[in-house]
Amino acid sequence: MQPATLKVSPGSRLFGRTLGHNQKLGIIRPAPTCEDFIMSRLLLAFLLPAVAGGLAAQTASDQLSDLPKPHDYVLKRSSSYDRTGGNADARRVPAGSTITVLDENGPGQISHIWFTIADREQYHLKKIVLRMYWDDEKTPSVEAPIGDFFGLGNGEYFLYQSTPLAVGADKALNCFFPMPFRKHARIIVTNEGQEQIGALYWNIDWRALRSPLPPDTAYFHAQYRQAMPNPAVADAKVNLDGKNNYVWMVAAGRGHFVGVTMSVLENADGWWGEGDDMFFVDGEKLPSINGTGTEDYFLGAWDFGGKSFSYESFGAPVVGPEKKD
C-alpha cells in the first residue's frame, strides 16, 4: 500500500501538527528554539482542525443521551496529585529530564488528558516534548512539543474551544481524543529546555476495559512538522502536482486522517493563505482532493476578515495584525 500524503501550497513560515488514525507515521523534527521567533514583522495565526468523522458529529445532546447506558469499563486516572495527602500536587522537571505521566496495562482507552505548567523559560511550550507509546512499540506514536499538541503552535498561551482540543483559563491544556491501547500505554514528558519546569500538573483519565478491543480498532497517532522558513511559491503561482508544497502528513497503512492544526509566523508582506490543500492517496500523481486556499480548508474565507473565531471542529482563534518589535 502506498503512503498517503497531505500537502498545502507554500506560503510563509509554517508550523503544523497532524492527527491521524494510521499504522505508521514519520520521524518528528525537533522543536525550534526561542531565537527562531525573533522577527521584525510578525503576523500570527492559529488554525483549528477541520475535524472529520464521528468526533465532530457527536453533539452535547448525543453525549447526554449516552449517560443512562451501561458501560463495560472501570474509569481510572493517572495524576500528579500529592501522595502524602497534602496539596503539593505538582512535579518539578529539571532541564534534560524525562518524567512518566502514565504507565498502564490494557486493554484500555484514554478519554481525557489535562496538563498545566508553571515554567519561567520563554517559549517553554516549544521545549517540553510529549511522547506516547502504545503496546510494545519502541518509537512513539505521538511525538510533539506539548504546546503544538494542544494547539498552541506559536509557543504562547491563549484560550480556545473545540471538540477534541481546548485551552481553559488559566493555561489549562485539554485533549479529548480517544486513544485506545490493547496491551500497554506509556506517556512521557521531556524537558528539552535550559531551565527547570517549576511545576508540572497532570490528570489523565482512562478506561480499563473488561473486554478486548475489536480487531480493527485504530490507534491514535500525532505527527509534528515545521518549516523555517517555508519557501514561497513562484510568481506564476501555478501548482498542479504539489511538488513544492509544504507537507502536513505522510502515512502508510490502513487508517484515516482526523485533522490538522497549523500555526503561522509570517515575516513578509501579503497574504500567506492562498496555498491549496491537496490529498494524495495510494501513490496518486494528482491529488484526489484539491482545495481552494488555506483559509478555505479551515472553513474560513476572505483572509478570515481579520477576525478570530473558534467552533466545535474548526476555527482560527488567533488572527493577529502586523506588528513591529
Kindly list the structural domains of the chain, giving each domain's residue range(s) and its CATH number in brackets, ordered by start.
32-37+72-228 (2.60.120.1390)
Contact by Cβ (8 Å): 177, 142: no
Instruction: Please tell me the distance from the alpha carbon of residue 208 to that of residue 111, in angstroms, as a whole number.
Output: 11
CA-to-CA distance for 278 and 241, rounded, in angstroms? 9
Q: Which of 295, 247, 232 is nearest to 45 (CA)?
A: 295
CA distances from 221 to 17, 59, 183, 228 (A): 11, 24, 16, 24
68 has a pLDDT exceeding 50? yes
Confidence at residue 49, expressed as pLDDT on a 0 to 100 scale: 53
pLDDT of residue 26: 30
Residue holding cell 474509569? 75
Q: Residue 7: helix, strand or coil by DSSP? A: strand
pLDDT above 60 (res 11): no
- Tell me the per-residue pLDDT of 200-234, one tens digit each, with 9 for 90 and over: 999 999 999 999 999 999 999 998 999 888 877 65
**Contacts of 204 by beta carbon, 8 Å cutoff, 6+ apart:** 77, 78, 79, 101, 102, 110, 112, 113, 114, 187
Least confident of 7-11, 37-41, 320-324: 37-41
Mean pLDDT of the chain: 83
Please tell me the pTM assigned to this model: 0.84
Least confidently predicted of 169-173, 257-261, 270-274: 270-274
Q: How far is CA 319 from the centre of its chain?
A: 18
Q: Which H/E stretch holds residue 297?
A: helix 294-297
- Backbone CA torsion sign across 246, 276, 224, 288: negative
